[in-house]
């Protein structure tokens, strides 16, 4: 049996002591640096819901198989992995915004994707040579995984330590350390360690380290060097840096201006810009701009929007917008969805994902399109396999995911695509409730009612005997407990009834006539309009001002990690008028007061 050397045992003992110290998120969060507004780290709770995510952006949970006997509106938040505590329950937006508001100061935990992008950017020489053990982030009621309420819990802290050690092992391997720290080959001494702490500390913290922080990490180095060698000492410094709250949280605390507001520092602005518009940490150029104070001047001059637009033109920038739509539409659940009665679905569902991504790219970036284009475009972007799966004369593209015009009368816009429709359906039937709830909550920003007691189960599907609409109306529109809630959104969902559970257009349902008519109500229960098809539903919806106000609220919630009222409402009217597109509206959030300022409350 091979026994560890004394040096190895000392190094391991030192590692345990060293890595325990940076895990002081609660104490640091309540220190003078963070102020009293920041929540302490939560102990968390271990729970997971797999890969299916959030139903309809409403906090409810849908299994991959859907289930054909129950279709209620229940839900209280989705937890993917354990990041501690976070938002749950229905999301509620205040759209009555006379003026843009400023929200609270906060620390925002990096998402798993942001953390991985950060490590790869900071240590490019070992990209692909380490593994992340971090869990998926908790999904908010709005459907996004970047909520400012997410905190470090016990499980997350343990997995962060495991991941940090994995990164540090790769970074200090003989094949990598010389590239990351050239002086380690020629002069592996305290001066070299100081260079490492200064350089890589700034990259991980997105700001220069204070002298106190440098002294602390160099003190770790001195102790480690007594117990092990230079490489081991650098390894444990790396582990400590990666676990620091300054690395895993984005600071949006700012400087107290004495007037009830806090102005974000130039480094905080650089960090906010980079993660909001590229999903990655600020690069050297952006950090240099922060050091010179250029970003503060740019904020005064309104030039942050130009910087954001440039970032969105990059591939990383486009991916941040794609991630918004993944959360907002909930369409990626199709990848884990099963439709046992639909031949060819398993071979088509991944193509559905790519169809929607290509459509978003075409509308948002290639055409600079807006919300109206998104919801009413007659085009889509299928693969040849997917066009065959859709059938009914669906045209094949010239190449996979090239744009084609949909057959007349077979739906318009992104809500007529297979990925959305199959994700918002049951395993054995369509779901007017799920599809209607999406429009009710994500297009009209109406709050999902609380589930009453003793909800009856939906009758099983009866192909060729009753249509889906008939089953839903018998259970939901009668005199029972379901009526008060379901009459608000089921009639919207009936507009999608020409699409089956797999997102395919159907002229009839097992030989039975389909009735796709319905109505849309306002928040007071008054009829906004009636419709007789999915096309009529969408063309009427895009004439409603609330749709643009609602979309702006979701866009701001994604960017800022909070659903606080009126943080991103300024350009909603421009979206409605069609004078700006979705990408420009997202970039324009940099001009909102909340992007640079926080309250002291």
Residue at token pair 């509308």: 363
Q: How is 86-102 classified by DSSP, letter by letter?
A: ---S--------SS---
pLDDT confidence of residue 89: 57
pLDDT confidence of residue 479: 61
pLDDT confidence of residue 71: 58
pLDDT at 235 over 60: yes
Q: At what angle do helices 154-171 and 6-20 cross, to 10 degrees?
A: 130
Query: How large is the average pLDDT for residues 494-502?
Result: 98
| Least confident piece of the model among 80-89, 389-398, 480-489, 586-595 | 80-89
Question: What CA–CA distance (Å, rounded) separates 562 from 41?
Answer: 18
pLDDT confidence of residue 38: 34
Query: How large is the average pLDDT for residues 443-457?
Result: 84
pLDDT confidence of residue 529: 98
| pLDDT range class, residue 454, cuts 50, 70, 90 | confident
Q: What percent of the chain has pLDDT over 90?
A: 76
Of 586, 516, 431, the residue nearest 62 (C-alpha):
431
- Mean pLDDT of the residues in the chain: 86
| Least confident piece of the model among 12-21, 100-109, 142-151, 426-435 | 12-21
Question: What CA–CA distance (Å, rounded) separates 444 from 436?
Answer: 11
Condensed to tens digits (0 to 9), the pLDDT of residues 254-284 reads: 999 999 999 999 999 999 999 999 999 999 9
pLDDT at 21 over 50: no
pLDDT at 79 over 60: no
Dig out the tokens for 327 from the structure: 């959360």
Residue at token pair 């009209």: 444
pLDDT confidence of residue 431: 96
| Least confident piece of the model among 113-117, 256-260, 276-280, 446-450 | 446-450
Query: How large is the average pLDDT for residues 98-121?
Result: 96
Question: What CA–CA distance (Å, rounded) separates 32 from 492?
Answer: 51
Question: What CA–CA distance (Å, rounded) separates 42 from 127?
Answer: 30
pLDDT at 50 over 80: no
The pTM score is 0.87
pLDDT at 467 over 60: yes
pLDDT at 514 over 90: yes
* Between 567 and 89, the higher pLDDT residue: 567
Query: How large is the average pLDDT for residues 1-17?
Result: 40
Dig out the tokens for 61 from the structure: 């949970």
Per DSSP, the chain holds a count of helices (H) and strands (E) of 27, 11
Query: How large is the average pLDDT for residues 545-574?
Result: 96
Are the CB atoms for 373 and 460 separated by under 8 Å? no
pLDDT at 535 over 60: yes
Are the CB atoms for 61 and 54 separated by under 8 Å? yes
pLDDT confidence of residue 82: 38
pLDDT confidence of residue 111: 97
| pLDDT range class, residue 443, cuts 50, 70, 90 | very high
Question: What is the H or E stretch that residue 261 is in?
Answer: strand 261-263
Q: Is 526 helix (H, G, I), strand (E, B) or coil?
A: coil
CA distances from 186 to 124, 152, 178, 401, 420 (A): 21, 39, 9, 53, 57
pLDDT at 507 over 80: yes
Residues facing 379 on adjacent strands: 405
Are the CB atoms for 335 and 349 separated by under 8 Å? yes
> What's the length of the chain?
601
Question: What CA–CA distance (Å, rounded) separates 31 from 38?
Answer: 9
Query: How large is the average pLDDT for residues 20-24?
Result: 39
Question: What is the H or E stretch that residue 19 is in?
Answer: helix 6-20
pLDDT confidence of residue 55: 32
Condensed to tens digits (0 to 9), the pLDDT of residues 320-347 reads: 999 999 999 999 999 999 999 999 999 9
Phi, psi angle pair for 392, to nearest 5°: 55, 40
| pLDDT range class, residue 362, cuts 50, 70, 90 | very high
Query: How large is the average pLDDT for residues 446-453?
Result: 83
pLDDT at 68 over 60: no
* Between 417 and 457, the higher pLDDT residue: 417
Are the CB atoms for 598 and 261 separated by under 8 Å? yes
Are the CB atoms for 182 and 140 separated by under 8 Å? no
Condensed to tens digits (0 to 9), the pLDDT of residues 250-262 reads: 999 999 999 999 9
Q: What percent of the chain has pLDDT over 70?
A: 84
pLDDT at 48 over 60: no
- Residues 6 or more apart whose Cβ sits within 8 Å of residue 9: none
Q: Is 262 helix (H, G, I), strand (E, B) or coil?
A: strand
Dig out the tokens for 396 from the structure: 């094949």
Range 212-223 burial, b when 16+ CB lie within 10 A, else e: ebeebbbebbeb
Query: How large is the average pLDDT for residues 128-139?
Result: 94
* Between 37 and 476, the higher pLDDT residue: 476
């Amino acid at each position: 049996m091979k026994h560890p050397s004394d040096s190895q045992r000392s190094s391991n003992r030192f590692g345990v002591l060293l890595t325990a110290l940076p895990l002081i998120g609660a104490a640091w969060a309540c220190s003078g640096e963070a102020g009293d507004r920041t929540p302490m780290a939560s102990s968390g709770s271990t729970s997971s819901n797999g890969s299916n995510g959030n139903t309809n952006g409403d906090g409810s949970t849908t299994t991959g198989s859907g289930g054909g006997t129950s279709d209620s509106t229940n839900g209280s938040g989705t937890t993917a992995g354990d990041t501690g505590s976070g938002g749950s329950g229905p999301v509620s937006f205040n759209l009555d915004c006379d003026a843009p508001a400023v929200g609270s100061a906060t620390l925002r935990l990096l998402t798993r994707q942001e953390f991985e992008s950060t490590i790869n950017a900071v240590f490019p020489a070992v990209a692909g040579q380490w593994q992340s053990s971090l869990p998926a982030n908790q999904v908010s009621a709005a459907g996004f995984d970047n909520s400012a309420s997410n905190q470090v819990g016990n499980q997350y802290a343990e997995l962060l330590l495991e991941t940090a050690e994995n990164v540090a092992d790769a970074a200090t391997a003989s094949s990598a350390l010389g590239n990351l720290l050239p002086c380690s080959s020629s002069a592996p001494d305290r001066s070299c360690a100081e260079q490492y702490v200064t350089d890589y500390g700034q990259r991980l913290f997105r700001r220069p380290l204070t002298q106190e922080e440098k002294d602390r990490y160099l003190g770790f180095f001195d102790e480690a060097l007594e117990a092990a060698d230079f490489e081991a000492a650098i390894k444990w410094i790396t582990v400590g840096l990666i676990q620091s709250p300054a690395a895993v949280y984005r600071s949006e605390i700012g400087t107290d201006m004495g007037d009830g507001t806090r102005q974000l520092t130039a480094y905080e602005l650089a960090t906010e810009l980079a993660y909001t518009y590229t999903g990655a940490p600020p690069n050297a150029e952006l950090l240099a701009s922060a050091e010179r104070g250029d970003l503060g001047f740019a904020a005064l001059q309104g030039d942050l929007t130009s910087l954001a637009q440039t970032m969105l033109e990059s591939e990383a920038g486009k991916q941040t917008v794609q991630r918004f739509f993944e959360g907002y539409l909930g369409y990626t659940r199709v990848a884990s969805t099963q439709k046992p009665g639909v031949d060819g679905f398993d071979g088509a569902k991944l193509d559905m994902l790519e169809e929607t991504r290509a459509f978003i790219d075409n509308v948002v970036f290639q055409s600079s399109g807006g919300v109206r284009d998104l919801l009413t475009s007659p085009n889509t972007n299928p693969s040849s396999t997917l066009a065959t799966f859709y059938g009914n004369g669906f045209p094949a593209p010239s190449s996979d995911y090239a744009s084609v015009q949909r057959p007349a009368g077979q739906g318009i816009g992104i809500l007529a695509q297979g990925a959305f429709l199959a994700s918002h359906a049951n395993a054995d039937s369509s779901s007017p409730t799920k599809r209607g709830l999406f429009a009710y909550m994500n297009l009209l920003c109406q709050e999902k009612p609380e589930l009453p007691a003793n909800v009856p189960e939906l009758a099983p599907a009866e192909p060729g005997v009753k249509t889906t609409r008939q089953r839903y109306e018998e259970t939901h529109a009668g005199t029972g407990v379901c009526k008060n809630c379901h009459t608000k959104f089921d009639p919207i969902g009936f507009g999608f009834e020409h699409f089956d559970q797999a997102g395919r257009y159907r002229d009839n349902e097992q030989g039975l006539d389909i009735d796709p008519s319905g109505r849309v109500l306002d928040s007071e229960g008054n009829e906004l309009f009636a419709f007789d098809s999915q096309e009529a539903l969408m063309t009427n919806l895009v004439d409603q001002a609330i749709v643009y106000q609602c979309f702006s609220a979701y866009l701001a919630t994604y960017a800022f990690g909070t659903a606080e009222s009126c943080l991103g409402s300024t350009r909603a009217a421009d979206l409605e008028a069609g004078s700006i597109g979705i990408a420009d509206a997202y970039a324009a959030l940099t001009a909102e007061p909340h992007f640079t300022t926080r309250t002291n409350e």
